[in-house]
Chains A and B, each alone.
Chain A
Amino acid sequence: MKAVPAIVITGLASLFLHFDVQACAVCFSSSENTRAAFYLTTAFLTVLPVAMLIGGFYWVRKLQQKHDAVDQS
């Protein structure tokens, strides 16, 4: 029962204290340039971590091969 006042206050606050928010990163501009920039940066931010992970695995593999070569010689 203690939760009821909190729910009522929150409900009233959401009715009267609301304000507009931008739902997406590019809502401030509808230009073609912004759309292109959004696509480009999305691709960039998607590819970059994958590329870093692949680079990291490659680096560790090279280190392993280097150590193996030292062991064999």
Chain B
Amino acid sequence: MILLVAPEIPANSNAERRQLVSSSIFATVILIMTEVMFFAALISAYMIIRSGAEEWPPWGQPRLPVFATALNSLTLLASAFCLHRSVKVFSSQSSQSKQLLALTIALGTVFVSVQGYEWVQLISFGLTITSSTYGGVFYLIIGAHGLHVIGGLLALLACLRRLNSTSQQLTIDNLRAAQIFWYFVVGVWPVLYTLVYLL
């Protein structure tokens, strides 16, 4: 007979339940799995739309600032390095960890701000979400990533606030959960940059 449900462990059993990974980290990993599928769907849509276009970018549409965005990408990569260092020294050097976390947030904010400036420029040049399919997919993909960066920044800000707080202690697991999400945000960017800006 095949059991579809696991047998219940009696209350007086000696069997112990162990937590292999913290809930916050596990939840973040599940979230990232869904986010990977979300971005995979966007990339797929982009590739299919692009493959059907005779000219890409379409004639009359402004070109994207490839070099400026490459420099901006370095800011995002630097923020991931700072966060890596911050988590590494979290237990031993709390004040340095705090400074590195603040630097991570600052670098992330610079990235979003430069992206925002780039968008304002592109809109002024006539590239809007309704100007063409090119504009539509550009703002959809890069905008979705930008929203994730903002979400990651909010998570890091919450970590920094708890790091400064005396009443609410920040645990290493909470910081690692935010770190995993930030790594995802940073890791997906080179893929999007290559697809949207370079190819």
Contacts and interface: CB of A to CB of B under 8 A. Distances in A.
Contacts of B52: 26, 28-29, 31, 33-34
A25 interface: yes
Contacts, number: 48
Nearest to B50: A37
B92 interface: no
B30 to A, nearest CB: 9
Main secondary structure, interface of B, reads helix
B29 A56 contact: yes
Q: How large is the interface on B (under 10, 10 to 19, 20 to 34, 35 or more residues)?
A: 10 to 19
Given A63-B21, A67-B18, A41 B48 contact: yes
A52 interface: yes
Contact of A26 (B21, B40, B43, B48): B48
B36 A52 contact: yes
Interface of A: 25-26, 28-29, 31, 33-34, 36-38, 40-41, 44-45, 48-49, 52, 56, 59-60, 63-64, 67
9 contacts: A26-B52, A28-B52, A29-B52, A37-B48, A44-B44, A48-B37, A56-B33, A60-B20, A64-B20
